[in-house]
Amino acid sequence: MIESRDTGAVRDHVSLGALSRVFLQVSLYGFSGGLTLAHRIVVDERQWLTEPEFADIVSLCQFLPGPNIIGIAVCTGTRLRGAAGALAAAAGFLVIPWGLGLAAGLLLLAHAQYPLLRNILGGLSATAAGLLIATGIRLLLPHRRRPAAVGFAVLAFGLMTFAKLPLLIVLVGLVPISIAMAALQTARAQ
């Protein structure tokens, strides 16, 4: 659950241009989808969101269809500046990088037969996997004192990795149970 804080001061000073530039930067420099870079900029550097707020947005975006990072851009923009912020963040993330990505993709496709290029791309994908694992661990850290949350994370990882279940099935199976567990824990705490 999002730990509430006064976001009025943050909302007042985050310009639409800043939102657009940040997500343009995430899109251009954020390899492996940009989740790691988005977290570093939005939470650590700019402090636009808290760690739990970002984790909740990532959780929501995991459940929604489409690329997570676009959902993160839209949710962050919405949280900070409403609908205009969502449009600014999404445009920053998509417009220029889409054109560059299309051009790079066409160029790489024309030279995909070269072993050196395949080896480079294989090394990049291994690095991207490492970044994704590190980000997952970092997103789990705020929940480390909640055994049920850690248990659900381990269970989801196991179901997807070892049982080879699709993400949607894991989410549909675990989300209602985890929500019920969180509600029980909240009720017991009160």
Asked if residue 66 belongs to a domain, the reply is yes
| 175 token code pair | 């989300």
Q: Residues near 170 by Cβ (< 8 Å), separated by ≥ 6?
A: 156, 159, 160
Per residue in 60-77, pLDDT (tens digit) is: 998 888 888 999 999 999
Sign of CA dihedral 52, 54, 55, 61: positive
- Structurally, the chain folds into a number of domains equal to 1
What is the average pLDDT value for the chain, to the nearest integer?
88
Domain that holds residue 38: 8-113
- Confidence band, pLDDT 50/70/90 cuts, at residue 12: low
Would you say 75 and 60 are in contact if contact means Cβ atoms under 8 Å apart? yes
Predicted confidence (pLDDT) at residue 152 exceeds the cutoff of 90: yes
Q: Is residue 49 domain-resident?
A: yes
Q: Is residue 77 part of a domain?
A: yes
Q: Does some domain include residue 75?
A: yes
Any domain includes 156: no
Report the predicted TM-score, pTM, of the whole model to 2 decimal places: 0.60
